[in-house]
Homo-oligomer: A and B are copies of this chain.
Amino acid sequence: MDKTVLLNLLQSVADGKEAVNNAADSLSHLIMEDIDYAHIDHQRSTRKGFPEVIFGQNKTAGQISGIISKMSKQENIILATRVNPVKAADVIKTIPKAVYHKDARMIILKKKAISIKAKGNILVLSAGTSDIPVAKEAYLTAKAMGNQVEYIFDVGVAGIHRLFAHKDLIEKASVLIVVAGMEGALPSVVAGLVGCPVIAVPTSIGYGASFKGISALLGMLNSCSSNVAVVNIDNGFGAGYMAAVINRLTI
């Protein structure tokens, strides 16, 4: 929950505008709310600096909009990931202020503009055109968390001069997110060029022995460059989130 919600409530009690009994009830809801199909963790933004993010993949549109509604009473920004277009349309009908980003399959609800919270900046690289949906998910997440983010797409190792053409941008980033499918070699090459932390994101792009991203995942876990850590296959959201919490250290 956004801290100001808490402060306002306590002020109301102090001012006698709110009965103690009611405030106690409100407070317990402010921390965690049990709505049968979900236990909303309202305390998360206080504890972790960003509210709970809704994993939309196996939830119904009703469950997603239900959770957004409850959360939006306390939070300024709400994200739902892995929402397909059909479900998204249903959610937007209920919550018209939410915006659906189709390529990244994300719903974002902003109650006010997001302010930049870190000095450093994040750069998202993708190896291929087909990796863009995952790269966009990382990009939008890191932006929503208050970072300066840029991206360069389709600079894979088969034509490595395309990568070197962007060396300046790469070297000035505080954190790099590198997204690649197939053999997943790009993070190793990029991390070999710079000293900053690199978050590697394997994608399920490929066929046959790519095994839906296992090949890229293994490649990244075995990177011969040491400034690399890895998130789940197609987990653009996680990469964006991790990059954001790292970039926070540049404040």
Contact = CB atoms under 8 A, between A and B. Distances in A.
Given A207-B234, A208-B233, A153 B226 contact: no
A214 to B, nearest CB: 7
B197 A159 contact: no
A109 interface: no
A219 B218 contact: yes
A155 B232 contact: no
Interface stretch (A8-16, A17-25, A180-188): A180-188
Copies of chain A in the complex: 8
A69 interface: no
A140 interface: no
A67 to B, nearest CB: 8
Given A182-B222, A208-B213, A226-B242, A157 B82 contact: no
Interface of A: 31-32, 36-39, 41, 43-44, 47-50, 52-53, 55, 57-59, 63, 82, 120, 127-130, 132, 152-162, 165, 174-175, 182-185, 188-189, 191-197, 199, 202, 204-235, 237-239, 241-242, 245-250
Given A50-B195, A183-B223, 13 more contacts: A43-B159, A55-B130, A58-B129, A158-B225, A160-B192, A183-B184, A189-B189, A195-B245, A195-B248, A214-B218, A222-B232, A227-B241, A227-B245
